[in-house]
Copies of this chain bind each other. A is one copy, B any other.
Amino acid sequence: MIVKKANEVAAEEVTAGEGTSRQVLLSADEGPNFAMRRFHMQPGGGMPNHTNTVEHQQYVLAGRATVGIGDEVITVQQDDVVFIPANVPHWYRAEGDEAFEFLCMVPNLPDETKIVAADEG
């Protein structure tokens, strides 16, 4: 078994993002099938439009954000659940005065992150 306090797990800046950091709570080495990560976006921060080759299952822990997924733009907040299929472009912008925090689970499959240029978006 593994037990951790999420708040004590090291955070790494996500260089493609702005004011965005990531913690790997349970890594691909720790679980045989999928991994659990926690993202933290400062107010006004976020991630540009990008694709991943793996799907995302997300649960919003705190804050509020505008999220673009494919052609749709939604607002999400605490206790919202989001599923982003593989290869669908998506972006995030944290709104309000509170940091936007969410869990993001991904399968243990090869992933490639590709930024979608503005004229492709």
What is the total number of copies of this protein in its complex?
2
Q: Looking at the assembled complex, report how far the CB atom of A121 sits from the nearest CB atom of chain B, in whole angstroms.
A: 16
Please encode chain A, from 1 to 16, with 1 for each CB lying within 8 Å of some chain B CB and 0 for all others.
1111111010000000
Q: Looking at the assembled complex, report how far the CB atom of A45 sits from the nearest CB atom of chain B, in whole angstroms.
A: 21
Q: Looking at the assembled complex, report how far the CB atom of A73 sits from the nearest CB atom of chain B, in whole angstroms.
A: 11
Overall SS of chain A's interface: strand
Chain B residues, CB < 8 A from A32: 55, 107
- CB–CB A79/B5 < 8 A: yes
Residues 58 to 109 of chain A near chain B (Cβ within 8 Å): 59, 61, 69-70, 72, 74, 76, 79-85, 88, 103, 105, 107, 109
